[in-house]
Amino acid sequence: MSRDPSEEPARPAKAAKPVRRRGRPARAEAAEGPGARERILTAARTEFAERGYDKTSVRGIGKAAGVDAALVHHYFGTKEQVFAAAIELSFAPALTIPDAIADGGEAGAGERMARFVFGIWENPVSRPPLLAIMRSALTNETAATVLRGLIERRLLPRVAGELHVPDPEFRAQLAASHLMGIAMLRYVIKMEPMASADLEEIVAMVAPTLQRYLTEA
């Protein structure tokens, strides 16, 4: 006797497979959570500061942030792009140098610039990321290119825009090179007597030269 198919017990339906967004593994999605981008950026700053550009990897950044490396690529792209985002965050205090120059007019502009820049370097919070940037730029051409691009795009044009002298772009570069040279000797190489010199003495000697760059025709 044939059985009526309608009498057979219904088979349980197969569970639908979860839809995954293209290019992002499920493990990365599960690990994303709130604030993942900020965690990655913080981890990148730490990794670059401690290991330098050459020894830092996207996988290591992801591990430090508690996410999959694919998520690092998703937010920032290549290692070079992660580095660019990390140094832009670290370099953010320096991007307000033009405001320090403009505040108060031409008189005392050189001293304000010196105090502002050295104040960033003397700060124990902002100094380590800056040290990482400088060391990476000295040892890796990719890192140097990223830093140079940031300075050329975001900093020097704004400084030059505050100057009322011939060749303001060149003047801005002269001032920047003077300060970066001192920062290199004092904070990176730690060459004596520059490394242990009183900051007020340095500012007093540097400010007149900066003033000439910034204001004297």
Model pLDDT for residues 88-143, shown as the tens digit of each residue: 877 788 888 888 888 888 889 999 999 999 999 999 888 888 888 888 888 888 88
Distances (CA, A) of 161 to 93, 101, 109, 158, 215: 18, 11, 14, 5, 12
The CA distances from residue 10 to 2, 4, 60, 139, 183, in Å, are 18, 13, 50, 69, 77
Contact 157, 177 (CB under 8 A): no
How many helices (H) and strands (E) in the chain?
Answer: 12, 0
Residue 22 C-alpha from the chain's centroid: 29
Residue-level pLDDT at 7: 53
What's the confidence (pLDDT) of residue 16?
46
| Structure-token pair, residue 64 | 């430090």
Indicate yes or no: pTM above 0.95: no
CA distance 43 to 18: 30
Find the range with the poorest average confidence among 11-25, 40-54, 103-117.
11-25
What are 174's two structure tokens? 């002269």
